[in-house]
Structures are given as C-alpha cells and as structure tokens.
Amino acid sequence: MLKLAEDPILSSIFGGAIVGLGIGIIFRSSGSSGGFDIIGMLLARRKDFPMGTLLFAMNSVVILLSGFLFSWDAALNTLVSIFVLGKVIDKVHTHHVKLTLMIITRKGEEVKQHLLQNVYRGVTVIDSVGGFSNERSNVIITVISRYELTEVKTLIEEIDPEAFVNITETLEVMGLFHRKQH
C-alpha cells in the first residue's frame, strides 16, 4: 500500500478534506453515506443548521468515548480529521446558507410574479424613486437559499436585464422559511 504521508496530523487534515469533499458532494445531490448522516439531515432540516457542524458534534462524542477505551493519540487525530471534514462539508453543502436579494427594477410586478411562481418564496415590494434619475421603480426584497441563487438570477435576467441586484449573505432568518409543498 502506498503511504503518502508519515505525519499523522498531516494525514488527518488531508484525509478529512478529501472525505469532506466527497461527502459534501453526496449531500449536495441529496444522498447519504449512512450512519449519523441520516440523523444530521433530519436535524438540519428542522433547525436549518450546517450539516458538517452537526456531524462533527455527533461524531466527536463517539470519538471522545473511544479515547477513554483505546488511544488518545488516535482519538485526537481523528477529531482533527472530522473537524476538517465538517468544515469542508459546510463549504460544499450550502443548503443552510441564506441570501437576501434586494432587486431594484422598473418591472416590479413582472419580477414579483415570476419569483412567486418559480421560486415559491415570499417577496416584499417597496415603491422607490431613483436618487439621481428621479425615476420610479420597485425594490423587491426576498430571502433564498444559496442553491436557488442561479435560478433566481436567471429569472431576473429574463424579465429585466437592467435590474440592479444586491445579494448579501444572511446571518439568520426568523419566521417561516420553506418551499411550498405542491
């Protein structure tokens, strides 16, 4: 067997990163690798929490218990590996990341209807006047998941290619945030 690294910490870091990338891709495709993944997915759906962080917390309990029974060196190296694994999963599987879009457009009604029909998120429409141009327009505010961003940008571009869109990462959403069930 080919040994790439002699240093256990180096192996833990790169092993965690490689496995995290693979599992993140699996999660992004709505799959599972079994084990705590299933519990993590259920918790993440209910609490909208990062999957990698949940998996790190659950696996840490098991690893810490094994440290008492076996080797602390092995347990601590494994903790390093699953910490890196969790961070990489959270970078790849971004379902928990929410974005706030502020769309300034002269075609407010069309953009609003398009978003409501295709994205199933609530929108807020505010009448506005351009500070420089004095032209009337609408500001449409909505919160979406990171996965919906490409679709929403395409929808906006189809209706109003001249729309000004400000996209910011949202720290927290309070209130109802889910897709309508068809």
Give pLDDT tens digits for 143-170: 988 878 888 999 999 999 999 999 999 8
**Of 92, 115, 139, which closes a domain?**
92
The last residue of a domain, from among 65, 92, 119: 92
pLDDT number for residue 35: 83
**Residue finishing a domain among 38, 66, 92:** 92
Find out whether 68 and 121 touch, Cβ atoms under 8 Å: no
How far apart (Å, rounded) are the C-alpha atoms in residues 52 and 96? 11
As for how many domains the chain has, the answer is 2
Q: Are residues 64 and 126 in the same domain?
A: no
Q: Are residues 84 and 24 in the same domain?
A: yes
91-103 confidence digits (pLDDT tens): 888 777 889 999 9
Confidence bin at 182 (pLDDT 50/70/90): very low
CATH value at residue 142: 3.30.70.120
Model confidence over 44-67: pLDDT tens digits? 777 777 889 999 999 999 999 999
Q: Where does the pLDDT of residue 30 fall: very low under 50, low under 70, confident under 90, or very high at 90 and above?
A: confident
For residue 94, give every residue at least 6 positions away whose Cβ sits within 8 Å of its Cβ, in sequence order, or none.
145, 146, 147
Whether pLDDT at 128 is above 90: yes
Q: Residue 174 pLDDT more than 80?
A: no
Cα–Cα distances in angstroms (integers) from residue 131 to residues 45, 57, 75, 137, in the given order = 42, 49, 60, 11
> Residue 106 is part of which domain span?
98-170
Query: What pTM, to 2 d.p., does this model score?
Result: 0.66
DSSP state of 141: E
In a domain, 146, yes or no: yes
Arithmetic mean of pLDDT, 117-133: 88
CB–CB of 146/97 below 8 Å? yes
